[in-house]
Structure 1
C-alpha cells in the first residue's frame, strides 16, 4: 500500500487449535489490530514518535487500469502501516506481513531470499522444505488460473517441467514487484477470539505466494503481504463461506491505550445508532473496494463531486491502508478552499517537502483545534467526520489530512478512525457506524 498503514497483529498465547472445518461452526472470530507506531507495536520507537504524522505520506502514483501491464496494489508496500502476524506451514512459522485491502495475493518471503539479509524479518523467513504440508501449485491448478494471464510466468520459465509450476510476478504502483511460486500450505491465526475465549484457527491448503525475489521499497519490518481485497486469491475470498464473506474493523488513533480490532464472519456485522450503508463497486482485475462519493459538505457549504460515474461504477476507494483522504485535484481544490474559509486563519507552508499535506497551520496560533463539520456524502450514506479524522499535527504544526491526486481518489484510514466499518462482499455494501473503538 502507498503509505504508512495500521498494523494487524495476532498476539500468541496458550490456545486451542481448531482446524478449518471447525471455523464454520463459530460465530466468526476477532484478532487485534496494532498500529506499527503505537506503544503496542514491536517496532515502536519512542524517540521518533513525535514525527509520526509528518513522515511517510508520499503521493500515490496515478493508476490507469486500461494501460497497466499487470494488476497493481493501490498503495506502495514500503510505506505500509499495518502488519499482520500470520503463521504458515507445519510446523507453523510466524511472519509479519503487510495487510493490504487493495491487493489479493497473500505472500511471504521464502528461503532462499536474494535481498533479505539486512531486513528485520531475516530470522522469520519461511523455508518450504521444512513444512510437511507445503505444496507448489502447477500452472494447471485452479488458483494459478485465477491469476491474470499476464501475471503468470508459465510460458516463460520451467519449460522442462511437466506440469510446470506456477511462477508469477506481481507489481505495485511505485514499480516495486515480487516474483514467487504460487503454493499452498496451512495458515494459522493464533490467539483469535471467539465466544469470549482465545483460540487458534488453522486453514489447511490455503494459497499464497512463496516469494524469493523482491524489488523496490518493501517495508523492512515486513516479511510479506496479506491481500484483503475481493480478488480470487485474497484471504477474504479464500475464507469465503466460513466468514460469510464479511469482515469489519474499528480503528483507533496511534496514541490509544488499547488495540484496534479486525472481525470476521457474524462478529463483523454492525448494528447501532447512526449506522449507514452504501453500495460497493468492483472493477475488473482490481481487488479494491470502490464507493460512490457524491458530495462533501464543509459546514453549511455542500460541494458536489464533479467526478460522478455511470451506474454500477464507483469513484473513490475505501481503503484501510492509505492514511489520507485523496480527492481529484479540481474537487480537492474546492474542498480546501471551503476549509480555508471556515477556519479563517493564515496558512503556513508545509515544512516537509516529501509529505502530501497541502494546507497547514501553526498549531501555536490555535486556542483549540478547529471544529469544522465535514460530511462525506456517499450514495445512501452520509458520514460525518470529526477533527481526529480530518487534521493531523503536533504542538507546532497542524495540517488538513487530505490531498490532491490525478489518480484514484481514496477514503483513507484516518477518516475511518472511531468508526466501525463493515465490508459485506455478498451484498456488495460497506457500512459505517460511529463508535468508541476502545470499547470494541
Structure 2
C-alpha cells in the first residue's frame, strides 16, 4: 500500500483507496470595459466564504444542504435548456443562467464605498445588487445599495453595448432597464448602470451592473447580489477583459464553522494568477475549454471517459459531447456542490463502485445522495477504516486522479459513507467537491482550463 495521508479532525474516518494513497475523511473552503477611462491592468485576489460558513454544521450536513441547492440548480439548468431547445425551432434563442452559487465574495460599491457580500457564480454573467427604491427585495445580510448616495453612479444608455448584450431589456427615456431571469421564478429587474467597484482595496471604475429594484426567488438571500464570472459580455471577467482568472476552494471540512481568514477559499483575477502559479508550481492537468454557441456563458470541458479502480467504464464517446441542438456536454461549475453525470454514465459508475466496494449499500434514501454505504461496526466509535476504489476523470489531454475526500464523504453519526455524485439528463456538471484543494485556472486566451493540486488554505 502506498504512503498514507492523515488529515486530523475531531472524529476520523479512514478511507483507503485501491492503488491510491490512504486519505482521511471527517464527520465534522483593465483591458477594463470602462465607459469612462482607457484600459489599465487590474489584478486582485479576494477571499471566498462558503454560504454555510459559521453555521456549526458537520461536513456531512453541509454536503446535504449543498446537494439540495445543487439539485435545484440542476433542475433550473435543465428546464432552461429545454426552453431554449423549443425556442430554437422558431429561431429564437435564450441564454441559460445558473444563478445562486455556493461561495460569497466581499466587495464594495460606490463612492464613498459601501461593503457588500455577493454570490460568486461561474454559471452566469450579470453583476447585480439590490437597489433603492426597492419595490420587491429579499432579506439579505447586507444593506440595499442607494445610488443617490454615490457620486460615481451613472445609468447606462440604451445604445450602450452592455445594454444590447442583455437577454431582455427595455429602452426608457432615462436609460436601459433589464430583466434577468434564472429559469424558475427567480429574477432580478431594474436599471443597468455603471459604478466603481472595489475588490480587496482595488477600485475598478465604470463597471456595468444591474441595479435591481424588483428581485425575487430562492437562493439569493445569502448575499446582497451576484457576481457573474461566465463567458458572456456582461460578466466581471469579460468587462475586465482579463485573459486569466482562477479560484481555489478549500476542503469542505475546513469551513464548517467560523474559520480564520487565512484558511478561506480565494478568487484570483488577472496577473496575480500567474504569480501564484509560479510560487506554487506542481503537477498541472490542462484540458481545452469548449464553447457551446447555444449556451455561451458556460465553461464546457471535453470528458472522454471515467475509470473506477482499474476498470475503464464502457461509456459511449458521445455521452458527454455537445449535441447539435446545444444539449449535452459537461460544464465545470463552482456553484454546484457535487458532480452530476448523464444518467447512463452514472449508472455504470454506480454499479462498478458497488462491485468494488466491499460494504453494504444503504437503501434508506436518508441522505439525498444516490449512493451510500453502511460503515462497518467498530469498538472505537471515533474511527473506522474502509477501502474504496480510486476514481479518475479522463478529460481531453488530462487524466484527473481525484483524492478520496473529493468524492467520498463519511459520517460517523449516521454510520454512512456516500459518493458525492449524482445523475443528470441533458447536461453534466463537474462540481466543487471534486474541485476542492485545486487551483482551477481559466485561461481564456489559450482556451484551456487547468487543475493544479494545491493546499488552498495556505495560499
Residues 1:168 and 1:365: Cα distance change in structure 2 (over 3 Å): farther
1:59-208 correspondence runs (5 A): 59=71, 60-61=74-75, 62=78, 63-64=81-82, 65-67=84-86, 70-74=94-98, 76-77=99-100, 80-116=101-137, 119-121=139-141, 124-148=143-167, 151-154=168-171, 158=172, 161=173, 165-190=175-200, 200-208=201-209
2:372 aligned to which of 360, 363, 366: 360
| Residue number in structure 2 paired with 1:268 | 273
Is residue 356–residue 388 contact of structure 2 (8 Å, CA) maintained in 1? no
| Residue number in structure 1 paired with 2:211 | 210
1:411 aligned to which of 397, 406, 430: 430
Residues 1:319 and 1:304: Cα distance change in structure 2 (over 3 Å): farther
1:289 aligned to which of 296, 299, 307: 299
Distance 1:23 1:293 in 2: 37
Q: Give SS of 2:231's match.
A: coil
Deviation of 1:70 (Å):
3.4
- Post-superposition Cα deviations, 1:186-242, rounded to whole Å, max 9, x if no partner, equal 01113xxxxxxxxx11111100000011222133221100001111010011111xx
Is residue 162–residue 208 contact of structure 2 (8 Å, CA) maintained in 1? yes
TM-score, normalization by structure 2: 0.78
| Residue number in structure 2 paired with 1:246 | 244
- Post-superposition Cα deviations, 1:359-397, rounded to whole Å, max 9, x if no partner, equal 012235583243421000000011110111102232122
Residue 386 (1) aligns with residue 396 (2): no
Deviation of 1:21 (Å):
7.6
Q: Give SS of 1:404's match.
A: strand
Q: CA RMSD in A?
A: 2.6
| Residue number in structure 1 paired with 2:288 | 279
Q: Give SS of 2:271's match.
A: helix
Deviation of 1:351 (Å):
4.2
Distance 2:225 2:113 in 1: 15
Q: Give SS of 2:337's match.
A: coil
Question: Which shifted more, 169-178 or 338-347?
Answer: 169-178
Distance 2:40 2:47 in 1: 18
Q: Structure 1 regions of 5+ residues with no counterpart? A: 1-6, 8-18, 39-43, 191-199
Is residue 147–residue 153 contact of structure 2 (8 Å, CA) maintained in 1? yes
Q: Give SS of 1:255's match.
A: coil
- Post-superposition Cα deviations, 1:319-374, rounded to whole Å, max 9, x if no partner, equal 11111010001111001111111112111125447x3x100122355832434210
Is residue 129–residue 210 contact of structure 2 (8 Å, CA) maintained in 1? yes
Residue 425 (1) aligns with residue 447 (2): no
Residues 1:310 and 1:47: Cα distance change in structure 2 (over 3 Å): closer
Deviation of 1:22 (Å):
9.8
Distance 1:115 1:278 in 2: 43
- Post-superposition Cα deviations, 1:136-181, rounded to whole Å, max 9, x if no partner, equal 1121111111223xx1233xxx4xx2xx521111111333111121
| Residue number in structure 2 paired with 1:46 | 56
| Residue number in structure 1 paired with 2:455 | 436
Distance 1:67 1:214 in 2: 27
Residues 1:53 and 1:311: Cα distance change in structure 2 (over 3 Å): closer
Is residue 37–residue 254 contact of structure 1 (8 Å, CA) maintained in 2? no
Is residue 44–residue 202 contact of structure 2 (8 Å, CA) maintained in 1? no
Is residue 70–residue 170 contact of structure 1 (8 Å, CA) maintained in 2? no
Q: Structure 2 regions of 5+ residues with no counterpart? A: 1-28, 30-35, 88-92, 379-383
